[in-house]
Amino acid sequence: MNFFKARVLLWPLLLITVLVVAGTGAAFAFGGLNALALSSLFTSSSNERDSQVVQAVTRVQEVALLSLHIEGVARHESNGEIFGVAVPASEKTTLIQYKFDAKLGIDGSQVKIEPSGPKSFRVTIPQFIRIGFDDPAFEDPLESSNALSWLTPPAVQTRMINNILSDENKQKYITQNEAALKEQAKVFYSGIIASIDPEITIGFEFAG
pLDDT in tens, 53-105: 665 555 557 888 999 999 988 887 766 666 666 666 667 788 889 998 989 99
197-201, Cβ contacts within 8 angstroms, sequence gap of 24 or more: 197/119, 199/119, 200/119, 200/120, 200/121, 201/117, 201/119, 201/120, 201/121
Each residue of 146-199: pLDDT tens digit?
Answer: 655 554 555 667 887 888 888 888 889 999 999 999 999 999 999 998 898 888
CA torsion sign for 162, 167, 172, 177 is positive
3-class DSSP state of 166: coil
Q: Which amino acid is at 191?
A: G
HSE at residue 147, side-chain half, CA atoms within 13 A, is 3
For residue 69, CA distances in Å to 123, 164, 168, 173 come to 29, 14, 18, 11
Q: What is residue 121's predicted lDDT score, i.e. its pLDDT?
A: 92
Asked if residues 205 and 124 have their Cβ atoms less than 8 Å apart, the reply is: yes
Asked if residues 208 and 127 have their Cβ atoms less than 8 Å apart, the reply is: yes
Q: What angle do CA 101, 102, 108 make, to 5 degrees?
A: 130
Asked if residues 102 and 141 have their Cβ atoms less than 8 Å apart, the reply is: no
Each residue of 12-43: pLDDT tens digit?
Answer: 545 455 554 555 554 444 454 454 444 444 44
